[in-house]
Structure 1
């Protein structure tokens, strides 16, 4: 019984010692939503002016705009779809990721 008690106490003591080390290695990835540092604020102030013919590689991560008539957008042709990026609607070529049209959001 003494060996079990000593082993249990040693395991508890070790867990208390190891917990701060495990938390120290998160590198700030567990920040609360809404937290922003100065470099993020600087990037947020930059606006991108989208142009036809420009490639937008990250467009697949954004949901397609299905109710395009609601936003005053024309029906996309086959192989095209509208996506909202920042405060603009971009008509994208599904195959290439090239911007075919740009409309400002209302």
Structure 2
């Protein structure tokens, strides 16, 4: 009886771990970008062009963000969602991505 319980426990654990891995791999919102804290990214400040260019453009609807004003765009940079003016890099908002999910 003890062997049966161990076998069931191990198989349950294996399915749980394998299932969690598969979900993480298939999830479309999963990002491999580690979080980097940027205290300088505040409203009214400018994001460096190289940081902006490293970021991926976001569909604000998909991530439940506010619609950007004309000339602004949401980007994910270093695990942060940054709303900034495309032409000047002036930041309107910066949010840690993990606080949204």
Q: Who is 1:101 aligned against?
A: 93
Q: Which runs of 4+ in 1 moved over 6 A?
A: none
User: SS at 1:68's partner residue?
Assistant: coil
Return the index of the structure with the highest Cα Rg: 1
Residue 53 of structure 1 deviates from its aligned partner by 1.2
In the TM superposition, 1:49-68 aligns within 5 A as 49=39, 50-57=41-48, 58=50, 59-65=52-58, 67-68=59-60
Any stretches of 5+ residues in structure 2 without a counterpart?
1-33
Mapped partners of 2:35, 2:94: distance in 1: 20
CA 1:45/1:102 → structure 2, altered by over 3 Å: closer, same or farther?
closer
Mapped partners of 2:35, 2:75: distance in 1: 21
Find out whether 1:89 has 2:81 as its counterpart. Answer: yes
CA 1:78/1:46 → structure 2, altered by over 3 Å: closer, same or farther?
closer
Any stretches of 5+ residues in structure 1 without a counterpart?
1-43
Partner deviation per Cα, 1:50-87 (whole Å, 9 max, x = no partner): 2111111220332211x211212111111000001112
